Each structure stands twice: as C-alpha cells, then as structure tokens.
Amino acid sequence: MARRKPAIVHGVMLVDKPAGLTSHDVVGLLRRRLGERRIGHAGTLDPDATGLLVIGVGRATRLLRFATASTKRYRTDIVLGVETNTLDAGGEVTDTHVMDSVTLDKVVAAAKLLTGEIEQIPPMVSAIKVDGKRLHELARAGVEIDRAPRPVTISRFDVEATDDPLVYAATVECSAGTYIRSLGADLGHALGGGAHKTNLRREASGVFNVGEASGPDTAILLPVEEMLRGMQRVVVDSEAAVPVGHGVAIDRTLGVGDGPWAILDETGVLLAVHELEQGQIKVGVVLN
C-alpha cells in the first residue's frame, strides 16, 4: 500500500463561501488550486448559506478542532407562519399558521426565552451519525427517528423587524454545534405557530471575521500560527524547544490560566499546543 505523500503546503485560509456550494465543494476547489490534498474546514455551512469558513491546509488541519470549538455569529431571516420539512426555505411546506397579530415586542420576548443555555433537538437534515448513518441520509429516504436533545449556549439572539411583517432579521451568537434552523423553528413555536429560516450568513467564527475573508478563488494563505490567533502564547528558549518539539509538555508554571496554550520558539515558529487536564498540562498537538 502506497504511503500518502507528506503535505507541502501549510497555512490558514479565510473563505467567504458563496451560496450554492457545499463546504466540501470549497475544500475541493482549494485542493485543486493549491495542489494539496490535506485540507479541512472548521464548521460546516449549508449549501444555501454564505459566509465564513476557516480552512486549515497541511499542518494547520491538526489545529482545526480549536477553531471548530469556538463561538459563532450568524445573521439570518426568520419567516413566521410557514414550517418546512428542512426548517429552511429550501424544504417542502409542512404547515402554515396565521401569525399576523405577532408584534416585534412578542418576537423579542420569545427570543429572550431562547437565550442562554438551552437544549436543541438536532434536525433530521443534519450530518450527525446514528448507527453509522447520517441523519440527512435517513431523511432523504423518508425515515425519521427520535433524536436526543443536545445542550447549546445562545449568548445573543437579537431580532429586528423588516419591511415584511412576517419576516424578522436575527443576529445570533452561539456555541459550536448550534443549529440556527432549529432556533428559527423554535422561535415560531414559542410564538404559537411556526417558522423557518432563510438567508443564513456566518459573520464570525471565534476571533475570525468574514470581513477578512475572500472567495475560494482569491483567499490568501496565512501562516499556520494564525489558526491559534487569540490563544495564549508561551515562548520557550532554544534549549526547551527541542523537547517540546518531541512531545514533552511544558512546566505547569509557564501556562497561565486554563489554556490551551500555543507553544512557540524564540523565532515565532509554532511547536505545539498544550492543554490542561485534571490540573496538569498535557500535550495536545505537536507540529514541529
């Protein structure tokens, strides 16, 4: 069996995904553009959604889990009165409700009830695997199964009126793993009817903002260290850099706070990422 060729291109790319492409499509485009197979992204966007995809190339793919776990910010429109089987505008209408009497004050109050630590039932169109099959694969086959609710955190759920009395523009800041389509549907239910989301756009992922991003054809390759932007950094001298580069954890006194910590040498090269586990620093990723 032939061994995989080692990656030769390394870095971070901030891509503004256009509508009509899957996140996997974007990865495929970048693989062809860069001539590099080892590429991944931090957090899937639906094909009809737009906005920020944080891309890892080469060694940076090993750091994607830190970006994936970060908070996200979205803008979306929530359409009251119509429910769909996919909870978005691309699905088939399953129910309608008369919601003409709903006011902005009522929507704001309902959104407040959905702010904080809540539980969501993953939609059938999600990519979660159950017994080896993804939910969206079961949904396409006409199968619906029970799903256990999952805890998420909604730190911000602001809504504002639009020119259409049944459409409300929303800004959502949330933990990783939050389903905005479910949040829109839950808002409709909280108002005594139903709703679906449309025009979803991811504006931020952790410390990265869509204003820094470009299309798949023009996004630039940033240094690997950019993946850990905002993470506390520990610089080690040339003597300590050797064992760190071979997977030895730094002393606990060097890591202030709860981590994780990006460990760099004196020239600014990222050597590893260390994390805290049961009060002790452990090696998370070694890059050197």
* Rounded Cα gap, residues 68 and 75, in angstroms: 19
Question: Choosing from 46, 88, 186, 265, which is the catalytic residue?
Answer: 46
Beta strands, E only, the chain: 11-17, 39-41, 50-57, 72-80, 82-84, 93-96, 116-120, 129-130, 133-134, 150-161, 167-174, 195-205, 208-209, 232-235, 261-264, 270-277, 280-286
Cis amide linkage into residue 165, ω under 30° from 0? no
* Rounded Cα gap, residues 42 and 12, in angstroms: 11
Looking up tokens 């062809």 gives 32
Starting at the earlier edge strand, list the strands of the sheet with 280-286.
232-235, 261-264, 270-277, 280-286
Whether 46 sits among the annotated catalytic residues: the reply is yes
Show which residues are catalytic.
46
